[in-house]
Amino acid sequence: MTILHSIILSIVEGVTEFLPISSTGHLILASKILDIAQSDFVKSFEIIIQLGAILSVVVLYYKKIFQLETIKKLIVAFIPTAVIGLALYKVVKTYLLGNIAVVIWSLLIGGILLIILELWYKKKVRDIVDIESESKLPSYKQSFLIGLAQSVAVVPGVSRSASTIAGGLLLGMSRKSIVEFSFLLAVPTMAAASGLDIVKNYKLFTTENLLSLIIGFVGSFIVAIFSIKFLLGFIKKYDFIPFGVYRIVIALIFLLLIL
C-alpha cells in the first residue's frame, strides 16, 4: 500500500462512514479498483481508519455524547453488536472482509430493502418529521433493538449506518433522531472493533505501516466532518431512497465489470 492509496482510502472512508452505503464495502471495492491486495494489514487498515471518522462525531457532538442518559442508552445499544461481533470476528475477518461478491450482493439487496423501507415509512408515518426540533434519544428498548439491527452490519456491504437507520425508522423514530443516534452509536462500536483488531494484529504495524494508518486516520477525520454535515442537511429535504438507488447502481456496475 502506497501513501497515495492511504489518502484515497481515507477520503472514501470519510465520505461513506455515516452514509447508508457501507464504508467497509466501499473500501473493499476501492481497494479492488486500486489493485491493492487484501493482506491482513490492509484488512486491519480498513477497520482502524474508521476511528478517524468516529473522532469527528466526538468533536461535533461532544456536549451530547458525554451526557449520562446518552451514555446509558449507547451502552444498551452496543451490547448486542459487541456480543455478535466478538463471536463472529474470526469468520468476518477470514472469510467476509475482502470478499467482493459478499460486498456487491449486500449493497444490492440492502439498496432494494432501503427503498422498500422508505416507501413503507412514508405511507405509515406520512413522513411527519419535525426537522427543526431537537432530536430525541430512543427509549432503552428501542436502543437495544437498534443495536440488534446494527449487528447485521458485521457483513461487509450491509452498512452500519443503514442498519441502525432502518431499525430506527421501523421503530417509528424521526429521520433526524435516528441519524444522530446512529452517529453517536458509531463511537463505541467502531472504537471497540478497531481496538479488538489492534490487539489481535499489533505485530502487523511496522513503522512503514504506521505512517499509512496515521494518514488514513487524519484524512478520514477531516472528510467525515463534512460528510456528517452533508447528511444532516440532506435529510431536511430528502429521504433515503437516493442512497438505495445508488447502492443498486454501484452493485450492478461491479456485477457487470468484475463478476
- Report domain extents, the chain: 3-257
131 pLDDT exceeds 80?
no
pLDDT, residue 144, reads 96
pLDDT digits (tens, 9 = 90+) for 47-89: 888 889 999 999 999 999 999 999 999 999 999 988 988 888 7
pLDDT digit string, tens, across residues 190-199: 888 888 888 8
- The rounded percent of the chain whose pLDDT value lies above 70 is 94
Q: What is the pTM of this model?
A: 0.86
| Mean pLDDT, rounded, for 35-50 | 84
Confidence of residue 132 (pLDDT cuts 50, 70, 90): very low
pLDDT above 90: residue 148: yes
CA distance 192 to 120: 33
The pLDDT assigned to 195 comes to: 83
CB 186 within 8 A of CB 57: yes
Q: Which of 198, 185, 186, 17 is nearest to 93 (CA)?
A: 198
Determine the pLDDT at residue 124: 67
pLDDT above 90 (res 187): yes
Distance CA 76, CA 58 (A): 19
**pLDDT for residue 134 is more than 70:** no
